[in-house]
Structure 1
Amino acid sequence: MQKGLEGVVSKFADDTKLGGAVDSVEGGEALQGDLDRLENWAITSCMRFNKGKCRILHLGRGNPGYTYRLGDEMLETSHAERDLGVLVNSKLNMSQQ
């Protein structure tokens, strides 16, 4: 985990994922702060994220579905994403496999 981040950062090859539990406004602000620190780390490390491929996947019932940004770009929300060949949707339903 990257120092100073509240969420969990995972990397695999050229994929980076940031995740965390958000059940309050403060939790959403903390996750946005993590995204800001991740963007600053990338700039300092002379790396770039392909922001066109960055998505937010809200998981769980009652998820407040906050919006987030990476740098100056608002991130799109997705209802399903493929992760290492497995399709994961917002309801954790595997019926689309």
Structure 2
Amino acid sequence: MKFNKGKCRIFHLRKNNPMHQYRLGVDLLGSSSAEKDLGVLLDNKLSMSQQCALMAKKANGILGYIQKSMVSRSREVILPFYSALVRPHLELCVQFWAPEFKKDRELLERVQRRAMRVMRGLEHLVYEER
């Protein structure tokens, strides 16, 4: 079986890795500092901060689409869309890996606070840190 050399990369882990060059046949394989496998983005420090930022960005974008397309801001209208479209992106981050950094948790919570501000009647529940 032939390998697609364009899709083959070396993923070096750890800080003190000597970062050797590897070959597939006569061609050198490129290295990568972050790789996505099974929908999860990992970097060479095994940190999931990039994954968290990516999911928060997707969830914010979807929440923006919901906010622009819905005329009503009532909880009965927005909540089903939030639960079906936005919440799964946030839960993917939390259930797969407990966010290890405070900044990652705050990023996910910021999306949830924004959703609360969008829904009429729930604005008073939003706690803003200053």
* TM-score, reference length from structure 2: 0.38
Deviation at 1:61, TM superposition (A): 1.7
Deviation at 1:71, TM superposition (A): 0.7
The alignment-based identity, stated in percent, is 63
User: What root-mean-square deviation, in Å, do the aligned CA atoms of Structure 1 and Structure 2 show?
Assistant: 0.7
Q: C-alpha distance in 1, partners of 2:29/2:15?
A: 21
Q: C-alpha distance in 1, partners of 2:35/2:19?
A: 16
Aligned to 1:59: 13
Structure index of larger Rg = 2
Aligned to 1:85: 39
The secondary structure found in structure 2 opposite 1:53 is coil
Deviation at 1:88, TM superposition (A): 1.2
Equivalent residues in 2 for 1:1-97 (5 A)?
Answer: 47-97=1-51
Q: Deviations over 1:13-35 (max 9, x none)?
A: xxxxxxxxxxxxxxxxxxxxxxx
Equivalent residues, number: 51
Q: Deviations over 1:29-54 (max 9, x none)?
A: xxxxxxxxxxxxxxxxxx11000010
Moved beyond 4 Å, runs of 4+ = none
More helix by share: 2
Structure 2 regions of 5+ residues with no counterpart? 52-130
The secondary structure found in structure 2 opposite 1:96 is helix
